[in-house]
Structures are given as structure tokens and as C-alpha cells.
Chains A and B, each alone.
Chain A
Amino acid sequence: MLTLNQTLEQILTLAAAHFKVAREKLAPDDDFFRTLGINSLQTLELLTRLENHFQIELPDYELQGVSDFRMLAERIQARL
């Protein structure tokens, strides 16, 4: 079972790889919409990528109000 920090780290690594940005440019409390400059379509891509990676199902309404990586990690952690 992953710890929250391990989940968070994997999310940051995946997001960096998917959107082709340097990992060190992403921080846990970043607003990922702003930091990555992504739209809702790209956010869905990230969600799918994360679901596939963690082998979980995360209904998109659970992302309502979630905008930073740490909160995202908490939502994913609850499904692991």
C-alpha cells in the first residue's frame, strides 16, 4: 500500500511526463490547471492516465473543487 507521499510523488511524475514538463517544476500545492496550463479536456486525459496507472476508478465529480496535486493525491489514496 502506497503512502500519501508516495502517491503524490507518482502523480507529479506522471503529470510531468504526460504534459512534457520538468518534474522539478511541479510542486504538491500547485494549482495544476494553472501550473500545467491545461484545459478541461487535458484534465480528463490526466485523470484517465492516473486511473490506468493506479488501477482505480475515480469518478470525475470527485474532482470537483480539486485543483492542487495534494488534494488529488488524497482523492486517489482513498481509492487505493
Chain B
Amino acid sequence: MKKFEGQALSWGLTDGVVELALHREPCNEIGLLTLEELERFAAALEKVKSEAHALIIYSSLKCGFSAGADLKELFRISQEMDRDEAVKGVRNYLERIHRVMNAIDASPLTTIAAVHGVTFGGGFELALVCDLIIADKMARFCFPELRLGLIPGFGGIPRLKRDLGNAIVRDLLLTGRSFNATKAQQVGLVSQMVAEGELLKVARATALQLKKFDQRTAMAAKEFIKPIPYEELRREIEIFCELFAQPAVEAGENSPKARRLNLIYRE
């Protein structure tokens, strides 16, 4: 399958480069629909690996790369279940998204997240599975989950720890603040920062450069320098599920905690 047009995302393969475009309104919230299409994508990626050398993930929406997990959907579904059932459902959802994230992380292709605007929560975590992050200078990164009594659940903490020092990870996680692309580049998260509107052009130029190298060598280098922290990823699911079962997480999109998910503090 070399081309797919879904409701939440689309992809295509051209000249050895797979491009995955996210386009679910309002800001690429990752809910069940996106998850299903990401699973299809992960399966397709496996099939085209011999024909491709690079993957670019980007958003075609103006608002940004992704606002993260669709927590409103998650809470709405959970409200219809008793607590044990809800936790079981959340665990299943997390295990599915982790399989997708791990598949992209381990892909033999060199992977590029081309991000702009809001790159929050699960969207940030999707960028973190990639080998390179190229950011528009208006990009903004954040893990807002603590505002909801949760931790990031799509592998964010182990992958951020893989890339950055523990102090900056604690800062991002414990304050729930967002930071811009300049800061992200200063701390080593972003490899290239580009002017507004230049993101895809630069990502494609980078993908073209990657084509010059032997793919097996690139893969060996990637495996050596970017190990997947499976054990910590498993632990993250456990902690998330434990927290999800706690009273600190108030179900319902109208709860005070859910309102606090609003992207900026107004309370």
C-alpha cells in the first residue's frame, strides 16, 4: 500500500520518502479513529521498508502538529463504564498506541518529525519517537498531563529521558509548562529550527540527504544510539493506569480538572 487517504491522516510514498500527514480537526487529537489509522500506517510502513529510506511526519493543519491524546473522548467513554472496566479500557488503548509508537521508533527508515504550532502531550510523544525533530520557530512543546492528575502515557517520559537531561525532563513534567522551539533547540530536542512556512521544504531536503547513505549502515547507527527503553515504557503504562484509577482524575469533560486541560492558564 503506497498511498492512503484516511479521516485523521494520510500517507504516501514518493522517491523513497514516506510522508505521513495528520489532518484531524481541530488539532490532531489522538483518539480511537486516529489510533486505528496509525495502526494501519504502522502495518503499511513495515511493508514498504525495502522501498523507502525516510519517513516525514507532519501536520497539514494550521493549529499545529498535535494537541495530544483525545482526553475528552477517553473520559467520555470511561464515564460509561465502572472504574475497573475503564482502567482496563485505558490499558488496552495505551498498549495499542505503544505498539504503534514502538514500531515507528524501531523502523529501519530514518524518521523525521516536522513540527509547527502546538506539539503537546501525545503529539509531543509522537515527535519523540522520530530520529530527528525539525521545528518551525512557532512550534511549542508541552506535557500538560499533570494538570489532569496523570502522567504522559504514550511513552513520553522514557523517550524524553533518552534524549535530554533529567533536570529538563522534570521541569517540563512537573511544571506542566510549555516551551518554544528556540528553547527546544537549546536543550537538544530539536535538530533544526526553520522559518515559518519552510518546514516541509527543509524536512524534504533532509530526507534527500539521507538517501545518500547505505540504509543498513544508517539502521545500525540508529540501533546503537537510539535504544528503545521498553522496560520504562511498560512501567509508564502501569503508572498511568494506577493514576487513572485514582480520585485525582475526575472523569467528565466538564469536570474542573478537564477544564484545566485548556491549553493556557486562565483560572
A41 touches B182 (CB 8 A): no
How many CB-defined contacts (below 8 Å) exist between A and B?
Answer: 56
The 8 Å CB contact of A43, one of B138, B177, B182, B264, is B264
Bound complex: CA A47 to CA B118 (Å): 12
- Mask, B142-177, CB within 8 Å of A = 1, is 100000000000000000000000000000000111
Known: A41-B63, A44-B118. A60 touches B267 (CB 8 A): no
Known: A48-B138, A48-B140, A63-B265. A41 touches B27 (CB 8 A): yes
Known: A41-B63, A41-B118, A52-B137. A63 touches B264 (CB 8 A): yes
The 8 Å CB contact of A59, one of B137, B175, B182, is B175
Interface residues on B, range: 20 to 34
A44 touches B177 (CB 8 A): no
Distance of A72 from chain B, by nearest CB (Å): 12
Q: Please, which residues of chain B bring their CB within 8 A of the CB of A64?
A: 265-267
A40 touches B264 (CB 8 A): yes
Q: Please, which residues of chain A bring their CB within 8 A of the CB of B177?
A: 59-61
A48 touches B27 (CB 8 A): no
B180 touches A60 (CB 8 A): no
Q: Please, which residues of chain B bring their CB within 8 A of the CB of A47?
A: 140, 264
- The main secondary structure of chain B at its interface with chain A is loop
Residue B183, interface by CB 8 Å: yes
A45 touches B263 (CB 8 A): no
Residue A74, interface by CB 8 Å: no
Residue B179, interface by CB 8 Å: yes
Residue A49, interface by CB 8 Å: yes
Contact surface of B with A, Cβ cutoff 8 Å:
27, 63-64, 117-118, 137-140, 142, 175-180, 182-183, 262-267
Contact surface of A with B, Cβ cutoff 8 Å:
33, 40-41, 43-45, 47-49, 51-52, 55, 57, 59-61, 63-65, 67
What are 13 of the A-B contact pairs (CB < 8 Å)?
A40-B263, A40-B266, A44-B118, A47-B140, A52-B180, A57-B180, A59-B178, A60-B264, A61-B175, A61-B177, A61-B265, A64-B267, A67-B266
